[in-house]
Structure 1
Amino acid sequence: MTAQPPSPRTVAGWILRRPTALSEAEQLQLKSVLAQCPGLDALTRHVRPFATMLTERWGERLPEWLGAVRQDDLPSLHTFAAGIDRDRDAVTAGLALSWNSGVIEGRVNRITMLKRQMFGRAGFELLRKRVLPA
């Protein structure tokens, strides 16, 4: 009886987690999967450094990473890299700086929710009373 192959979700989880966070059995299974699929192995070699750039805030490594992505034949990553290139300065800043717009986005989200709740039910005055005290 042969062992059940891991699900795509499981393999994606292994690839996206830090290698040190994987158990020995998971590392062996991932190694086996990557040995059978060279495309997935190449993808893993790009995804892990990008994840490190995100978590460690190493935006200065982005041009080097984009160059490495373009060297491999991975069309989906080429599309991702092209999207990053369209706004490279902003992406580099997002990877390097600790600032974020989370508070502002939360406020906008709350106001949008209030507007949707009240659509067709009340006039501007009631909407104003609900939004401004917040």
Structure 2
Amino acid sequence: MLTHLTGQHLPKWINDVRAAELPGLSSFAGGLEQDLDAVIQGLTSRWNSGPVEGRVNHIKMIKRQMFGRAGLPLLRKRVLLTAASSACTTTLAHHDRP
């Protein structure tokens, strides 16, 4: 469902999980049912927040590395510098393609 964007199959999967009576998966399936329409939309749409989530995780990693060492001004500078350097790397990688 994730790689082929076939979220319409989710209700059947949830029923199969419930029938299998696996406690961990049944609980997970129940959580999915709480907002089933949104989950199905997320599994069928080609749009995703992956790039944003990746950037957020990167910022959190920088923050953890600097824990207790510096304040917001230095954290801001490091985040902006790494964003600029990754943008340059991405741009160069796109230009290297045939």
RMSD over equivalenced CA pairs, Å? 2.0
> RCO greater where, 1 or 2, for CA within 8 Å and sep 6 or more?
2
Structure 2 Cα separation of the partners of residues 78 and 125 of structure 1: 46
User: Scaled by the length of structure 1, what TM-score is found?
Assistant: 0.51
* Deviation larger for 103-112 or 54-63: 54-63
Percent identity between the two aligned chains: 58
Which of 85, 94, 98 in structure 1 is aligned with 2:42?
A: 94
The reply on whether 1:74 has 2:74 as its aligned counterpart is: no
Higher Cα Rg: structure 1 or 2?
Answer: 1
Q: TM-score, with normalisation over the residues of structure 2?
A: 0.66
Distance 1:125 1:73, change over 3 A: closer
Gaps of 5+ in 2: 84-98
Unaligned runs of 5+ in 1: 1-52
Count of matched residue positions in the alignment of Structure 1 and Structure 2: 81
* SS at structure 2 position matched to 1:113: helix
Q: Distance in 2 between matches of 1:74 and 1:87?
A: 21
Query: Match of 2:61?
Result: 113
Give runs of ≥4 in structure 1 deviating > 4 Å.
none
Deviations 1:85-123 (A, max 9, x none): 012122101211111111111111111111111111122
